[in-house]
Amino acid sequence: MKKRSLQVRDYMSDNLITLDSETDILQAAHILIKNQLSGAPVVDNSGKLVGILTERDVLALAVQAYYHGTLGGIAKDHMTAEPQSVGPDASLLDVAQLFIKGRFHRFPVVDDGRLIGVISRSDVMRALGEYYPL
């Protein structure tokens, strides 16, 4: 039995919900809620990854708004800029190491600066399950 590749491109999700950097923060929060996402990549008009807006970012803004009475802005004002990303040809074992060492649940997959997918912890687990079948 031939084993599949253990490259990111073979297991990443490419059906993505993204946010425009100019998206109103309340609208962005509702997109995360509606789609049950813990975060979404933020892209510019050319599809270049410019950041990630996470639940953590939105929660911090909500707490700040509660105490200071303001809730507003756009995604680029509250996102994590220049997020760590991986390439489509990266090894899933290298990505697994990044998950083990870090606090992230997913990484954007970028090719020539353009967002082409997302790889999650569960994607890596699925790949390892296929690579090491019962």
- Within-domain flag for 69: yes
Q: What pLDDT does 91 receive? A: 95
- Within-domain flag for 1: no
Q: What residue numbers bound the domain in which 86 lies?
A: 8-131
- Within-domain flag for 64: yes
pLDDT in tens, 80-95: 999 999 999 999 999 9
- Within-domain flag for 19: yes
Query: Which tokens is 112 given?
Result: 């020539």
Inter-axis angle of helices 121-131 and 92-101, to 10 degrees?
Answer: 130
Sequence-distant (6+) residues with CB within 8 A of 85 are 49, 107, 108, 109, 110
Q: What pLDDT does 1 receive? A: 41
Q: What pLDDT does 66 receive? A: 75
Split into its structural domains, the chain has a count of: 1
Tell if the pTM clears 0.75, that is, is over it. Answer: yes
- Within-domain flag for 81: yes
- Within-domain flag for 48: yes
pLDDT in tens, 2-57: 456 789 999 999 999 999 999 999 899 999 999 999 899 999 988 899 999 999 99
pLDDT at 98 over 70: yes
CATH code (residue 57): 3.10.580.10
Please identify which residue in the block is written with the tokens 């649940």: 105
